[in-house]
A and B are shown apart, each in its own frame.
Chain A
Amino acid sequence: MAAEELMSKHKTALNHERAFDEERKIASRVKQRRGRNRLAHGLFFLATLVGVLVLAVLLFDIFQRGWSYVTADFMNNFASRFPSRAGIKGALWGSIWLIAITAPLTFIIGVGAAIYLEEYAKKGWISTLIQVNISNLAGVPSIVFGMLGLTIFVQILALKKSVLAGGLTLTLLILPVVIVAAREAIASVPNSLRHASLAMGATRWQTIQKVVLPYALPGIMTGTILALSRAIGETAPLIMVGAATFLAFTPGSVFDEFSALPIQIYNWVAQPKEEFSNLAAAGIIVLLVILLTMNGLAIFLRNKFQR
């Protein structure tokens, strides 16, 4: 009896010791893990720093060279062989025309396609196939869209080197991105809201109009604006469809020739004279301001309507 008691006491003591050992091991492992955590933390910070630093250097360089060139004359003059008289008016207005054509088209077509795919199309292999294709299209290099635009709009539809052909090409380019963004926004609408509407006798279309779209709109707009800001910076497809680098007028209709900001910038950079590269920096500043404004608008919309 006593022996048994002794044995069991001994056992518990042993167990205690083992537990203690175990604890020490865990503690040392925790220390290791903490160390590794700090290392990872540092590495990721460095990665972020690289991005921020590169951006800062780039911005500094551009502002230093271009800031003094951003003047009223610069905004109001057309392209010129003489750096002192060269301005950005034609390119700026060309870009504005492009947005004015691309924005409503991508919005309407993109949302339409997204509504069809999310709300009407039967879920099955066909819809999966379409979905995969659209996602793939979003990754196709922009120059390919330029070739497509050249063939379809410039040649087959005989739109020539018009701003309409340019706008339509950019529409094709960003449409996949807008469709994907709009689909995600529509898919994020809770089904319980659709059911509430349908259970009151609303049709599918009424439900989409009055419940789904209002709920998804901020997300759709954010996606569209971000896609548009990509379109504004595009050069390659516009060169393909024949955007001009040297224009002394702004487009008066959608069938007129056009230039665009990135094209003008590209053209200036390619000039041998030093002053032209400063003009290019000035052009980049104008482009950046437009991009930042658009991104700011997107963020504003997202925050304002966030639920």
Chain B
Amino acid sequence: MNPTAISVKNLDLYYGEKQALKNIHVDIDERSVTALIGPSGCGKSTFLRTLNRMNDLIPNVRIEGQILIKDTDIYSDEVDVEMLRKRVGMVFQAPNPFPKSIYENVAYGPRIHGLNDKKKLDEIVERSLRGAALWDEVKDRLKDRATGLSGGQQQRLCIARALAVEPDILLMDEPTSALDPISTLKVEELVQELKKNYTIVIVTHNMQQAARISDKTAFFLNGDLIEYNDTDKLFSNPDHQQTEEYITGRFG
């Protein structure tokens, strides 16, 4: 059994008056893939954003409860948000490369954290692009604009960019929803590969995808965490009626 990477306790989140997450308890294992599923608006993205405090950017958000990463509560005062986000990387739903070169996109993270050594940057760029299974496709045009890549390549570039800051945890919010089946497959294979070194939490609307790539699955409904279980168990023999109804497509 892997040790725990993230431990969420009694988590409540409010957007103004509206409660979007209700008393969430989850322990996420190191070096595993955890899938978050549930109907639109149930709070998957909201939950994901609590893990790297991207919710801080939204006005009028109130958060109660605890999220422990390496035994520190990430919402306590002594935690440095920038350091937290360096450790907990994020890949967004729509690919969002900077309008800079491919190289500069990947080097962006290391640079903002103070690395300027050209040789080390070269190394990191290559390693990250290889890690994101993109190196062979772009190695001859690192100076080209990233926005000229295909959607699938852009998304893998965004993954490479996230890897370049060497996080421990990688959050992915529907990373394949804007991609074609082949690019999707590539990203899925990549997730399997990355799992060896990273803890991955991934939101997906695609139940087959969740079943294919995750070790554990969390099913959300209206801000409640209904069921959190081994993926095999959850999809074959869920503990809860509502989970059963959702995965068999009876609602949502």
Given A201-B109, A201-B112: A196 in contact with B83 (beta carbons within 8 A): no
B85 touches A201 (CB 8 A): yes
The bracket for how many chain B residues form the interface is 20 to 34
Q: Mark A135-154, 1 if CB is under 8 A from B, else 0.
A: 00000000000000000000
Contact B161 A200 (CB under 8 A): yes
Instruction: Flag B63-97 by CB within 8 Å of A: 1 or 0 each.
Output: 00000000000000000001111100110101011
In Å, the complex CA distance between A210 and B59 comes to 24
Q: Which of A195, A200, A203, A214 has the most CB of B within 10 A?
A: A200
Contact B113 A195 (CB under 8 A): no
For chain A, the bracket of interface size reads 20 to 34
Chain B: which residue is nearest A199 at the CB level? Answer: B90
> Which residues from chain B contact A190 at a C-beta distance below 8 Å?
96
Are A195 and B54 closer than 8 Å at their CB atoms?
yes
Cβ proximity bits B101-136 to A, threshold 8 Å, 1 near / 0 not: 000000011001100000000000000000000000
Residues of B within 8 A of A211 (CB): 98
Q: Does B169 contact A (CB under 8 A)?
A: no
Residue contact B112 to A206, C-beta cutoff 8 Å: yes
Q: Which residues of A contact B161 (CB under 8 A)?
A: 196, 200
Q: Which of the listed residues B89, B92, B97, B112 has the most CB atoms from chain A within 10 Å of its own CB?
A: B112
B150-167: which have CB < 8 Å to A?
158, 161-162, 165
A interface, by DSSP: helix, strand, loop or mixed?
Answer: helix
Whether A197 and B108, one on each chain, are in contact in the complex, defined by CB atoms closer than 8 angstroms, is yes
B99 touches A200 (CB 8 A): no
Is A13 part of the binding interface, using a Cβ–Cβ cutoff of 8 Å? Answer: no
Complex contact A200–B92 (CB within 8 A):
no
Check B113 against A201 for contact (C-beta < 8 Å): yes
Establish whether residues B109 and A200, one from each chain, have CB atoms under 8 Å apart when the complex forms.
Answer: yes
**Pair B85/A198 contact, Cβ less than 8 Å:** yes
- Closest-by-CB residue of B relative to A209 is B112
Contacts of B57 in A (CB 8 A): 195, 198
Per-residue CB proximity of A118-134 to B under 8 Å, as 1/0?
Answer: 00001100000000000
CA distance A131 to B54 in the complex (A): 28
21 A–B contact pairs at CB < 8 A?
A192-B92, A192-B94, A195-B54, A196-B92, A197-B112, A198-B57, A198-B85, A199-B52, A199-B54, A199-B162, A200-B112, A200-B162, A200-B165, A201-B82, A201-B85, A201-B113, A202-B82, A202-B112, A203-B82, A210-B108, A214-B100
Report B's interface with A, CB cutoff 8 A. Answer: 52, 54, 57, 59, 82-86, 89-90, 92, 94, 96-100, 108-109, 112-113, 147, 158, 161-162, 165
Not counting A192-B94, A196-B97, A198-B85, a sample of 16 additional A-B residue pairs whose C-beta atoms are within 8 angstroms of each other reads A192-B92, A195-B57, A196-B92, A196-B98, A197-B98, A198-B57, A199-B52, A199-B54, A199-B90, A200-B85, A200-B109, A200-B162, A201-B109, A202-B112, A210-B112, A307-B147
The 9 closest A-B pairs by CB, nearest first: A201-B86, A192-B96, A201-B85, A199-B90, A200-B109, A201-B82, A202-B112, A196-B96, A206-B112
